[in-house]
Structure 1
Amino acid sequence: MASYIVMEPPSDGLDTRPEGTRLIRDGFSWIGFILPPLWLLWHRLWFAAVLAFVVLGALSFVGESEGLALAGSLLTLLVSFIVGFEGQALRAAALRRAGWTEWGVVEAENFADAETRYAFGRQPSEPAVEPTEPRPTIVPDASHARPLQTGMALGLSHPGRH
């Protein structure tokens, strides 16, 4: 099963479920791994896309000019892995910065099932965790405690003497 992060757009005070909700699959992105800058541009992560493009270009240039082709290729692969693994988290973080709120996480087999589970989930006006009354402090009954042992003991100290 896959996990989907449910992000709701900034609300205008209405109690209705927003229509622009986005579900972001939490997992590895193969397209983000194969084409990091283009994947980032597609998801409107402008700064991350420019940064990935510059880093990939610099690693390729250094690898070719210094004769470190293998090291440059491995570092380029590392950047691709970072975007593949962390790209979805970057999307969620960008939406949070834009004022979106995280409704929660939905586990489903595919995207359509995740939308259905979200649609039949809790209402947005309900609290995420129901408040509970404070629990009373439980004090153990002293009559059930073991009696003090005064016999012989192995070790450095005797349990009955302090």
Structure 2
Amino acid sequence: MAIYVVMEPPGRSETADVTFVRDGFAWLGFLAAPLWLAWHRLWVEAALAFVVMAILSMLGEKLGLAWAGSLLSLLVSLYIGLEGQALRIAALRRRGWHERGVVAADRLYDAETRDALEAEAMAEEQATMQRIVPDAALARPPQTGIALGLTHTPGKP
């Protein structure tokens, strides 16, 4: 069962606007790292991955170790595959999105359904909750007059 992180945009609490980010290995991020990053609008990360992979390949060719450059580029792709979803979540947080919760489901559709049902149940629970603190309007008005107990008398220390 996969874990989905539910991200909510700033200033909105509607369930239609949330984004589900699957926490796990991104196979497309591993196979085509810069393209996958660009697809998810991680422009800086995509450019950085492309430049690093190109530099590593050129360095390997220049030193006569083409296999070493390819292996190092493969490490960059492996990193994107492992941490790509975390990069997506971090980018959404930088844009003002916040994490609303976590849902465990087999597929995205199931995660959306579970999240909608949990949001509905939570709204019903908050609507039927009793007030623990009584309403201030129903409280007795303050009484003025003589008070018993420790009081400060003016003029005495």
Which residue of the partner structure matches residue 10 of structure 2?
Answer: 10
CA contact (8 A) 1:4 1:26 kept: yes
Aligned pairs for 1:81-96 (under 5 A) are: 81-96=78-93
Which residue of the partner structure matches residue 44 of structure 2?
Answer: 47
Report the secondary structure of 1:48's partner residue. Answer: helix
Query: Structure 2: 5+ residue runs without aligned partners?
Result: 127-157
CA contact (8 A) 2:7 2:100 kept: yes
Structure 1 CA distance for aligned equivalents of residues 70 and 57 of structure 2: 7
Report the secondary structure of 1:25's partner residue. Answer: strand
1:69-128 Cα distance to aligned partner (Å, 9 max, x none): 12111111100000001000000000011110101110001111000011011448x99x
Which residue of the partner structure matches residue 56 of structure 1?
Answer: 53
Normalising by structure 1, what TM-score?
0.72
Aligned length: 123
Structure 2 CA distance for aligned equivalents of residues 106 and 18 of structure 1: 14
Report the secondary structure of 2:46's partner residue. Answer: helix
Structure 2 CA distance for aligned equivalents of residues 118 and 36 of structure 1: 30
Identity %: 59
1:39-76 Cα distance to aligned partner (Å, 9 max, x none): 00000000000000000100110011111112111111
Normalising by structure 2, what TM-score?
0.74
Cα distance 1:40–1:7, how it changes in 2: closer, same or farther (>3 A)?
A: same
* Structure 1 residue 17, shift from structure 2 partner: 2.2
Report the secondary structure of 1:24's partner residue. Answer: strand
Which residue of the partner structure matches residue 99 of structure 2?
Answer: 102
Which residue of the partner structure matches residue 72 of structure 1?
Answer: 69
Structure 2 CA distance for aligned equivalents of residues 35 and 44 of structure 1: 14
* Structure 1 residue 18, shift from structure 2 partner: 4.0
Query: Structure 1: 5+ residue runs without aligned partners?
Result: 128-162
Structure 2 CA distance for aligned equivalents of residues 20 and 66 of structure 1: 50
Report the secondary structure of 2:17's partner residue. Answer: coil
Report the secondary structure of 2:22's partner residue. Answer: strand
